[in-house]
Structure 1
């Protein structure tokens, strides 16, 4: 089975649309959460994901829409975007977001938004956090998002190794796979990031695709959201 794994759309419809246009022949799509937040097209992105009935996990921005106490963890600009998003999407969509599962499993792989240890909130961005989470996995595979940084963490002897390249990467557990972000890339590459998981070959193919950043930036600015959310799209950070 070939499964597209996407994460961190963040209400960026032009980016999601470009990823959809780029998809090769696949059998399914998994979304690792954060459909909303930062971007100016939350209704369009959310309705598309819901209507396709993709397996969609709970991200921290999704949770913040449903549980305002979570906003205490957010910086002022991110919290502003969440409050605006809630006004746009309405109660029924908020309830749907809040009902997303924090974890799931597919073909032996653990699926989370953030990390095995803390499925909604923990950032896995360095060797220390990666090693601790790899230890949680035993010999299995985990797909996660949240950091917006594509790549694979795995053990190499007693050291953690991080690997990223476009094209297929072999998956032999324990391994943490981050497909990167569709709507808010932060690895200094502004193109949308996602990947294709081949469950039979046990590989993951990282893919990048350009999109209409000007349209995404315009949606953010016209919504009156913080300008830095638009600016960072130009540079991928």
Structure 2
């Protein structure tokens, strides 16, 4: 499959980064309002993919994203939906709990989405590239070579390093794994801003995003949480007969299981600290 890579040139000012909206309209509404309150223009708001996912309002979420004008790459969910695939392509282990639940929420999303929404997904690139604070930046979903690859903070650096070599960049902005983190090595930065559609298995219903700042002519970033109407989002999921374990996750901030997590991350289940550089 040929990669569609969109280069958006040199950008400046604050950049808002987030991933995994997961059909959570209430969370998307809130992150949009945060961007507006900080005077961050839509073109400086970047999503790492999976606009559609576990929650109850896929069509409304895609419509709002389109109307907002923020930028996004295609996550594995967008790639699968626009190709008419029968599964989400999340790379869950066959027969696992996550795999079983995906067989409920993915067909629901398929049935809810309009042709216009699917056409929009077809316009999304596999990767975004841009220059920021004299750094070359590439946005990926899982990794550069595999949209569905799970990369975490504990993932060995040599695996991350391959992505910098392949892209010839200084910064990788990534998504997919659902956990916010940063990892730096030899002036290279791997930054996952987290996702806004589901909590980060940290025991709070807040969700995560990041902001890049070049005001000191260098690339700085902060990772933040925000509150949103998670009770309404969970109620809508329950009424749509979507997996109750994900309904509970929105309320408790804890995942039903840690099947996808490496040993290091599976034992955390504690609040992440805000990372400032």
TM-score (norm: length of structure 1): 0.85
Matched, 1:133 2:160: yes
Matches for 1:148-167 after TM superposition, within 5 Å: 148-155=178-185
Match of 2:34 among 22, 31, 34: 22
Match of 2:209 among 188, 194, 200: 194
Paired residue total: 220
C-alpha spacing 1:132/1:190, structure 2 compared with 1 (3 Å): same
Q: Equivalent residue for 1:112?
A: 140
Match of 1:35 among 27, 51, 54: 51
> Within 1, Cα distance between the matches of 2:130 and 2:161?
18
Cα deviation digits, residues 60-98 of structure 1 (max 9, x gap): 122221231554645121132121112111223123213
Structure 2 counterpart SS, 1:217: helix
Structure 2 counterpart SS, 1:117: coil
> Within 1, Cα distance between the matches of 2:142 and 2:181?
14
> Within 1, Cα distance between the matches of 2:180 and 2:153?
13
Structure 2 counterpart SS, 1:215: helix
Q: Equivalent residue for 1:63?
A: 79
Structure 1 counterpart SS, 2:150: coil
Contact preservation (8 Å) 2:129, 2:138: yes
> Within 2, Cα distance between the matches of 1:227 and 1:208?
24
Q: Equivalent residue for 1:90?
A: 114
CA-CA distance at 1:153 after TM superposition: 1.3
Structure 1 counterpart SS, 2:118: helix
Which sections of structure 2, spanning at least 5 residues, go unmatched?
Answer: 1-12, 93-98, 256-277
CA-CA distance at 1:143 after TM superposition: 0.4
Contact preservation (8 Å) 1:7, 1:33: yes
Q: Aligned-residue CA RMSD in angstroms?
A: 2.0
